[in-house]
Amino acid sequence: MSKIQLLMLVYIVLGLVVAGLGVPLVLRRIKPNPFYGVRLGRTMKDEKMWYAVNAYVGRWLVALGLLTAILALVVAAFPGISILRYTLTVLGIVGVGTIAAMVFSWRYIRSLDH
C-alpha cells in the first residue's frame, strides 16, 4: 500500500466518523449533555434551542464528513499527485468547509435569538 493510499484510507475513515457523529444530532437523539453537541449557555438552558442548533450543526457534520471521504478518493485519483499536494488539497478544502460550517452555524444560532 502506497503512502497516498494509506493517507486516503485515513481521510475516508475520519470523514465517515465525522459524518457518523452528525447523524444522531440530525435525528435529534442526543439530549443536552456536557460532552457531545453544541454546548453553549443558551443551548444548555433551552431544550428546544439545543435540538434546533444541534440538528443544524449535525447536517454540516454529515456533509463535511462525506465531502472529506469523497475528496479523499477523487484527489487520490489525480495522476502523479504528490503526497504533499494530496494532503494540502484535501485538508485545504476540508478546512474551508469547516470554516464555512462554523460561520453559518454561528449565524444560525444568532438568528434563533431574535
pLDDT tens sequence for the chain (114 residues): 999 999 999 999 999 999 999 999 999 999 999 999 999 999 999 999 999 999 999 999 999 999 999 999 999 999 999 999 999 999 999 999 999 999 999 999 999 987
- For the record, the C-alpha cell of 62 comes out as 454529515
Question: What 8-state DSSP symbol labels residue 29?
Answer: -
Read off the pTM.
Answer: 0.93
- pLDDT of res. 12: 97
- Report the distance separating Cα 55 and Cα 68, nearest Å: 20
Long-range contacts at 37-43 (CB < 8 A, ≥ 24 apart): 38/105, 38/109, 40/109, 42/109, 42/112, 42/113, 43/109
